[in-house]
A and B are shown apart, each in its own frame.
Chain A
Amino acid sequence: MSCREFEADVVDLAREAQMSVASAARVGEHLEQCAGCAARVARERQLTRALKAVADSTPASSRAAAIEARLLSAFAERHGAASPMVQTGRPAFLTPAARVWLAAAAVAVFAVAAWQGAARWRPADEERPAATRAEAGPAAPAQTTAGSEIGSGAPSLAAKPEIPPRAELRSAAAAREPATGPAAASRAARPRAEPRAWAEVLRFVTLPTAIGLPALESGRIVRVDVPTAMLPAYGLEVAPDSQSGMVEADVLVGQDGQPRAIRFVTLDSESRRRQ
């Protein structure tokens, strides 16, 4: 191999790029005989290390989270999908901008509810079935609005019948998973070893507006009517024939009057039938 031929491979050699066995043998043989080319390789290796240093010192984007939130919002608009956080059921997944977006949705919900009049707001204890009232647990004694208020104690897991969501109203994540079969049976049989946070226990979704509020010491569950058009903001799919209706939701209001979490109950058709 001549020095000229060696020059064609010097960069690959310095970068430790893949080289055929035959080429590597020829290059190695030439290096043993040519001090000039050996020095040339040494300089190229030095440059490679310096470029690696440049690459390693390149800062990451400081706006990645904001860009991600904007993209996800655009993605949801494009695909008509639900909030990714709610889809996956992982609150930590909620990006800052998504929180703002969800907060705006929450505000809209409450604005609509307020517009509809306080008369339509009613404490959950007035209409909720007894089994549902028990969800608040023993920390909510019967004499105090029969379960619609939550005491400062941790809610119990013992008496926790769940309000079954209707087939039309389900999370996108749930929509992708079969409700029956071995997987579902496995989930049902899974023991609940550790007490969970109150919101999870009660199947509530924490409102973004509740982030940063004082810890929940006591509260009330208030049932409200929510336009179905707002449901995608909470990661819920709506049947096509129910797009213009209303659904019932329970809002958990803390000791300071601030809403902390929301839980959807039924679709409008069901509500109307009951009224």
Chain B
Amino acid sequence: MAAAPLTDRVPDDELLRRAAAGDASSFTELFRRRQPDVFRFAVHMTDSASTADDVVQEVFLVVMRDGARYEPGRATVVSWLCGIARNCIRQRLDRDRRLTSVDFANDDREPGSDAGRLMDPLADLLRAERIEMLRRAVRTLPVPYREAVVLCDLQEMPYADAAVALGCPIGTVRSRLHRARAMLAARLSASSRSPVPCVMTEGAIP
């Protein structure tokens, strides 16, 4: 039977099904499509780009091994992947409480498309400073609250999917998110009186 063309129209769960059946192209497509989601979740949770890469690899090794165990009606693929990532991250956090920091100023990020907006360097620097401040505040949240913020706010995942990824009821996700945002607001208020040093990177300013 001819294989259907792999395009964005192929749903994640179908790609996963094909990958579990041994189709390397589907596995590749799924990796390319969902690796950024897993990486972002992991990098915000672990505070380390290299650890996040390791988590990505672990997650897709699990996909390779246990892809057939995915239940389409129970969760979206991305929430299932984030659930796997969460387990990997928790194991790492337990093993290594102190992970190295991400050096966002020296990474290889792509230049932004809105570089032309850098008309006011001071304003951009202040904006970058606020972003860095918030990023640090997220990093210092307790893990359950950080998970909720990262999935719901940074990943913009619906409550239902986040609940699957976190293995808890939707109400718990909402309450954790509510509490986490209150913590962030309090920490930002405190941090604004002692701003952190920040290196402005062109293109990083939204």
Residues of A bordering B, CB below 8 Å: 8, 11-12, 15, 17, 43-44, 47-48, 50-64, 67-68, 70-72, 74-76, 78-79, 81-82, 84, 87-88, 93, 173, 176-178, 183
Contact = CB atoms under 8 A, between A and B. Distances in A.
Contact of A59 (B49, B56, B156): B49
Contact of B36 (A60, A74, A82): A60
B206 A56 contact: yes
User: Which among A56, A58, A60, A70 has the highest number of chain B CB atoms within 10 Å?
Assistant: A58
B68 interface: no
B70 interface: no
Interface in B174-193: 174, 177-178, 181, 184-185, 188
B42 to A, nearest CB: 9
Contact of B22 (A58, A64, A81): A81
B53 A63 contact: yes
Nearest to B27: A75
Contacts of B178: 8, 11
Interface string B34-70: 0110011001100001101100110011001100000
B3 interface: yes
Given A50-B134, A57-B206, 11 more contacts: A15-B152, A17-B159, A51-B153, A54-B131, A58-B43, A61-B35, A63-B50, A67-B56, A68-B31, A75-B27, A176-B3
A23 to B, nearest CB: 13
A269 B175 CA distance: 70
B110 interface: yes
Nearest to A48: B153
Nearest to A178: B2
A234 to B, nearest CB: 14
A35 to B, nearest CB: 19
B159 to A, nearest CB: 7
B24 A84 contact: yes
A54 B25 contact: no
Contact of B138 (A54, A61, A72): A54
Contacts of B134: 50-51, 53-54
